[in-house]
Amino acid sequence: MKYSIFILFIFSLFSCKEQSEKSNAVARVYNIYLYEEDLQEKMPTDLSREDSILFRTSYINAWAMEELLLKKAKLNIGDENDEIRSLIDKYEKELLIDKYKQAVVQQELDTIFSEDDMVEYYQNNKAIFRLNENLVQLKYIHIDKDINDEAEIVRLFKSNKEEDVNELIDRELEFNSFNFNDSIWISQKDVIKKLPFLKEEGKLKKNKFMQKEDSLGVYLLTINNLLYRNDIAPKSYVISSIKRMILHKRKLELAEIMERTLVSDAIEKKQFELYNND
């Protein structure tokens, strides 16, 4: 009798646990459950109620489809299939090796870039830095049509005197938008977003002062320099790409050094031997 009560007690514990787990489940495929906490981990933040519902539905359906396909695959192909097992083993090895390499390289990687490093890389690899868009160096101001001293602003804008430039900078809150730094390169597409009248100008010309008016206001523009698609990009414009490329090169070099050192040490410690089978 005691044993029967004990067995019933154990069975009820498992039954309660299973019921608790099921109550927190949002979907089931055969004996596999998708739980609310798993779904919440994947849920993007700041979704509206409607988007949240759409995401839940989409994720649950995708999860169910994957589990159903996996079940069918196991039934029809089997998880002991030699080809699949070989691929899994190969992938596991590659994953472990890659993770180890990343950890070692990350520990030894020099992430400091000197100006000489970047100049040298840029000079040696200019051909890969060809532009796929037009670039512009310019200064411009966009002002309201009813501004009181438009003529004075035009005079200041055309002037190259430091005090006139500084006066414009001091008045920048009066302008709808502006750019006074004509030494930086800007994508022509971004320029046109700010200065829509340039769409009708055709090919832009260097050192051309323009004054245009439309329903949005008055635009003053001077183009300092231009670069076109397929020209070599200026170093300042591709500096972030140069840093990424140098970093990638250093990673490859470190990985190669690590591999050579690993083999050399293994040979020295007699952990790796080559046999002559001739």
DSSP string, 28-80: EETTEEEEHHHHHHHSPSS--HHHHHHHHHHHHHHHHHHHHHHHHHHHHT-TT
Q: What is the pLDDT of residue 83?
A: 83
Query: How many residues belong to the chain?
Result: 278
Q: What is the pLDDT of residue 19?
A: 47
* Sign of CA pseudo-dihedral 252, 106, 90, 67: negative
d(CA 43, CA 120): 46
* Residue keyed to tokens 């001293």: 149
Q: What is the pLDDT of residue 198?
A: 85
**pTM check: above 0.75:** no
Query: Which pLDDT tens digit goes with each residue over 161-196?
Result: 899 989 999 998 999 999 998 899 999 999 988 888
Strand spans (E) along 61-161: 135-143
234: closest CA among 114, 137, 138? 137
Q: What is the pLDDT of residue 84?
A: 82
Classified as helix, coil or strand, 135 is strand
Walking along the chain (278 residues) 10 residues at a time, the average pLDDT comes out as 49 48 81 92 89 92 93 80 85 94 91 93 95 94 89 90 91 91 92 86 81 88 93 95 95 94 92 80
CATH 3.10.450: does it fit domain 131-227? no
Q: What is the pLDDT of residue 21?
A: 52
**Which residues are bridge partners to 130 per DSSP?**
232
Query: Could you tell me the two tokens for 27?
Result: 């979907």
What are the residue boundaries of the structural domains of the chain, listed by start? 20-78, 115-125+235-268, 131-227
Q: What is the pLDDT of residue 24?
A: 84
Give me the helix-helix angle, 115-124 and 239-268, nearest 10°: 90
d(CA 247, CA 137): 29
* Residue keyed to tokens 């090919």: 203
